[in-house]
Chains A and B, each alone.
Chain A
Amino acid sequence: MESQMSKNTREERMAAAFGLSAAITVVFNVVLAFIKDSYPPLNAFMTSLTGHHWRTHGLADVILFVLLGFLFMAQNKPADGMTNKLVINVTAATIGAGALLSLWFVFF
């Protein structure tokens, strides 16, 4: 029973840490798209890394998601674990990032 509880706690800490990481990565994805689109040297640099800026962009997102997830887990963040506040943060980040991305390509 005790080992089951500690397993759940560790899994919950991991889910919360990677949830926070997902929220940040989603926003990072859109910010990188804005910068890449308005600053050609960055686009060229990203192309030089993998042969296409889109490949680099996707890999950067996934690597950041994994690294931040483990970092937050090591730092025990978010401190309150899996909560509805985290659900709202992930949802708001996703909807906000998607909306900003669409608006960017309408106006720029």
Chain B
Amino acid sequence: MSTQDIILFLHPTFGVLGVLAALWVFVETLNATPATQRRIWRASLITTGMFALTWFFAGWFYTLYYHSGDQAIIGKGPVPWTHSFFMETKEHLFFIPLILAFYLPFVTRLELSVNKAARNMVLAITALIVLDGLAIEGAGAIINWGAKTSLAQTVQMTTNPTTIKGAE
């Protein structure tokens, strides 16, 4: 396993951990009390930290390895839209939950057990982080499938070219 592979695996790992931390904040906030305030604050910092790490590792992989690797492979395969739609959307959509994750600790500092608007804000942004995060994870799986399908077709063309539609 190369450094490139490790970076590739780290970025969705931190992404999932960020989504789970946001879900944790959401659930705790539903029944926020003065006793849980400190825990909510810490969970929100974990959410921010996980998304910052996702940004770092996703950026490292995307800017240095993706274009010459997966994108080039997907472009030659039968499902180029896995890049043109899913990757293009994913790479810009990611900044939305990132900003929300950076914003989260500003609200969890407030007294959520008495401040209804602040509690609603935390519930709204954590729900959006979870939904955006899951959509981005799903898009990543589709991009991975796009690269795998292209490689499978290459292997198939090498071993039995007549089985590929349009290859004859």
Contact = CB atoms under 8 A, between A and B. Distances in A.
A33 B106 contact: no
A53 to B, nearest CB: 9
Interface of B: 55, 59, 62-63, 84-85, 88-89, 91-93, 95-96, 98-100, 102-103, 106-107, 109-111, 115-118, 120-121, 124-125, 128, 132, 135
Contact of A98 (B107, B116, B132): B132
Contacts of B128: 91, 94-95
Question: In terms of DSSP, what is the predominant structure of the interface of chain B?
Answer: helix
Contacts of A62: 98-99, 102
Contacts of A90: 100, 121, 124-125
Interface of A: 8, 11-12, 14-15, 18-19, 21-22, 25-26, 29-30, 33, 37, 51-52, 54-55, 57-58, 61-62, 65, 69, 82-84, 86-87, 90-91, 94-95, 97-98, 101-102, 105-106
A54 B91 contact: yes
Q: Main SS of chain A's interface residues?
A: helix
Contacts, number: 104
Contact of B118 (A25, A82, A94, A101): A82
Q: Which 6 pairs, one residue from A and one from B, show the smallest C-beta to C-beta distance? A: A52-B63, A33-B92, A22-B103, A15-B106, A105-B88, A18-B106
| Most A C-beta atoms less than 10 A away, residue of B84, B88, B107 | B107
